[in-house]
Chains A and B, each alone.
Chain A
Amino acid sequence: MTDPWSVFGDDPQSAGERFEVLRRKLVFYFEARRCDDPEELAHVTLEILMRKHGEHVEVQDLMRYSYGVARNVHYEHLRKKRAEMKYVSQQEHRPHAGAADEGAAARKERRLRCLEECVAGLSPQDRSLLTDYFKGRGRGRQESRRRIAEQLNISREALTRRIFHLKRRLKNCIDKCLEKAEAAGAVTV
């Protein structure tokens, strides 16, 4: 039987990287399709891919093939959901409004603390870049961003990408911070 991982490449390191890239794309796809659990559906898609490869199903174009599998997974998911929704709408227990609010408020507080921690962990240049990027409103903000791009000697698009990466770094940091807090029992989800 063929090694299922080899569908992503013969070299283990690059195979792992390709796997991760494909996984994120699939998550995005299922999110765009308004799926409740995009991570799970992406996982299912990748499992099917690897299984097919292991069963010697020829995969000439991995990405095209992955899209086909993902579409099928999505259709299957929608079908199940429609069936479940009929059942869930009859059986669903609404959580107590007060309890939900308390949970949400605590989560928000925790997120804010993690955000502060993560922003403090940025370099002074990155911190000031974010501060300058988000200040102002409307036309003034656009003008300010154009000036920032000029100062950094990069295009407006490159600046947007730089900000995007900074924000993603912050997001990952916040997620890790929240996981730690949950593991420590500070937050009940």
Chain B
Amino acid sequence: MKEEQLLGRYLLEDLSDEERERVEESYLADDDLYMKLLVAEDELIAAYVEGELSRRDRAKFEQAYLTNPHRLRKVESTRELLEFFAEKPPRPAPRPGFLRSLLQGLRGGEPRAVYALAGLILVVLCGLLSWALVERQRMRGELEMARERLRRAESELQHQTTAQTPPPAPTGGGDAPPTASGVESSPTPPPPNAGGERETREQKYPRRTVPDGSAAGGRAVASVLTFTLPRPGVRTRGGSGRAAEPLVIPRRVALVRLPVKVAANEYTAYKVSLQKLGGPVVLAQTVSKAQAGASGERVNVELPASLLTNGDYILKVMGEDEILALHQVTVVRQNPPRR
């Protein structure tokens, strides 16, 4: 007989006297067997209370347990306990989280899970797109503001340049000799409080005055330095188009502007290049339209002062395949940039 069966029969008093005494002697000596016996009794009582015993075993049980007050108390305790837990509603299974249920659904190939995942991806993509659009808008706004600031600075510069531009030299119809200076002094500031305008930077921060003809490059407006080159039509052949005076660039100048005079509206776009004599091209740009000025059309060549070092440069302005202006300029840096 298996041990579990033997213990069950012992509890139901369904063993011979000899077998019974052997079992009793065994569990008194063996703690493990004693524990098994207790568990077996617990299960037997529960089985009786739940009506799971056979008729024969039920009769034996009632004879062994219901006639003894201590054992009867055990039966009553078990019945109370089972009734107590049987009355409780079944514990709902904990709901898995959204991601877990989604993964489970995907593993199981559920269409709902697939749609849910697709929906999730769509939401994420829409979120990213919205963010990108907002960011783009913001950056556009900042760019516009920066452009606006630049436009204001340019128009201020233009205004000051116009006020300071020397009268054009008398023309003989053809080539005109370059101006003595080759350099236009930087625009002087407008008369104080002219037209109620605000104080210019030059009024606020006056710099040294340089008369016309000076090779010093004139005043700097902010960090932009403008040099005026001779009129169009001046072509060099064999280097004779060298400007008489060098372009002196002070240390603090960040941008150098070289307005080159061209014929009015001759071309829609102009190619400009600046090459160091015997060296590399430091600037190659396309200017879409000539700027109108009091003294005619100009192509504004702008480049960072850091590109220019001491030495000779060739400045070329072309319209399609025609050279419109060719200048050789000498650049002098007051404090040349470190290379």
Contacts and interface: CB of A to CB of B under 8 A. Distances in A.
A63 B28 contact: yes
Given A32-B11, A134-B86, A128 B91 contact: yes
A125 to B, nearest CB: 11
Contact of B28 (A25, A31, A137, A174): A25
A60 interface: no
Nearest to B25: A67
Nearest to A135: B90
A49 to B, nearest CB: 12
A29 B28 contact: yes
Contacts, number: 84
Interface in B53-81: 64, 67-71, 77-78, 80-81
Interface string A116-136: 100100000000101111110
Nearest to A66: B28
Interface in B29-55: 29, 31, 34-35, 37-39, 42-43, 50, 52
Interface in A127-171: 128, 130-135, 137-138, 141, 160-161, 163-164, 167, 170-171
A67 B28 contact: yes
A112 interface: yes
Interface string B90-110: 110000000000000000000
Interface residues of A, number: 43
B80 A167 contact: no
Given A34-B64, A128-B91, A119 B84 contact: yes
A34 B88 contact: no
Interface residues of B, number: 36
Contacts of B86: 134-135
Given A115-B80, A131-B85, A164-B38, A31 B70 contact: yes
A47 B256 CA distance: 117
A64 B13 CA distance: 22
Contacts of A160: 39, 43
B34 A28 contact: yes
B24 A29 contact: yes
Given A112-B80, A131-B85, A134-B86, A164 B39 contact: yes
B307 to A, nearest CB: 75
Contacts of A26: 28
Interface centre among A25, A128, A163 (most CB of B within 10 A): A25
Nearest to A165: B39
A28 B88 contact: no
A47 B21 CA distance: 22
A161 B39 contact: yes
B216 to A, nearest CB: 90
B39 A25 contact: no
B286 to A, nearest CB: 76
A134 B43 CA distance: 12
B91 A131 contact: yes
Given A38-B70, A67-B25, A28 B52 contact: no
Contact of A132 (B64, B71, B91): B91
Interface string B226-257: 00000000000000000000000000000000
Contacts of A171: 77
A137 B24 CA distance: 33
Contacts of B35: 161
B267 interface: no
Interface in A85-112: 108, 111-112
B94 to A, nearest CB: 10
Contacts of A179: none
A29 B37 CA distance: 11
Contact of A138 (B42, B52, B67, B80): B52
8 contacts: A31-B68, A31-B71, A34-B67, A67-B24, A67-B25, A111-B80, A135-B85, A160-B43
Q: Which 4 A-B pairs have the closest CB atoms?
A: A63-B29, A134-B85, A164-B39, A34-B68
Interface of B: 10-11, 13, 21, 24-25, 27-29, 31, 34-35, 37-39, 42-43, 50, 52, 64, 67-71, 77-78, 80-82, 84-86, 88, 90-91
